[in-house]
Amino acid sequence: NAGVTQTPKFRVLKTGQSMTLLCAQDMNHEYMYWYRQDPGMGLRLIHYSVGEGTTAKGEVPDGYNVSRLKKQNFLLGLESAAPSQTSVYFCASISGSNQPQHFGDGTRLSIL
């Protein structure tokens, strides 16, 4: 049972490039979340989804887009990467409200 899988684990981009981070879960969870983690800032919520076909903005959504076309996948896109988006990105999922999250292992993204 894989749980939550994030792809890729590491990536280096140049300013202005685009890329998509993939989060896949095999637990049939309804809710999925994208966070970024920066030193001294904790985890900040970027976007989240409460079900297939739905997305909503979190605390720091600017510069990111998301899609949830399939229940098991939650994609995070950077259309034009900026150095300020250098971070570790975590995906998480839960089965229902007020449940503990299952986290992926994170994606370390560097923007040069």
Partner 1 sequence: AQKITQTQPGMFVQEKEAVTLDCTYDTSDPSYGLFWYKQPSSGEMIFLIYQGSYDQQNATEGRYSLNFQKARKSANLVISASQLGDSAMYFCAMSGDDKIIFGKGTRLHILP
* Contact footprint for partner 1 (CB under 8 A): 31, 33, 35, 40-45, 48, 50, 56, 58-59, 88, 90, 92, 94, 97-101, 103, 105-106
- Shortest Cβ distance from residue 70 to partner 1 (Å)? 19
User: Which CB sits closer to partner 1, 13 or 33?
Assistant: 33
User: Which CB sits closer to partner 1, 19 or 45?
Assistant: 45
Cα gap 9→4, rounded to integer Å = 13
CB neighbour class for 93 (10 Å; exposed up to 12, middle 13-18, buried from 19): buried
User: Which residues on adjacent β-strands are paired with residue 4?
Assistant: 25
- Shortest Cβ distance from residue 43 to partner 1 (Å)? 4
- Shortest Cβ distance from residue 38 to partner 1 (Å)? 10
DSSP secondary structure of 46-96? EEEESSTT--EE-SS-TT-EEE-SSTTEEEEEESS--GGG-EEEEEEEESS
User: Which CB sits closer to partner 1, 41 or 82?
Assistant: 41
User: Which CB sits closer to partner 1, 65 or 103?
Assistant: 103
CA-based torsion, 89, 35, 85, 40: positive or negative: negative
- Shortest Cβ distance from residue 14 to partner 1 (Å)? 25
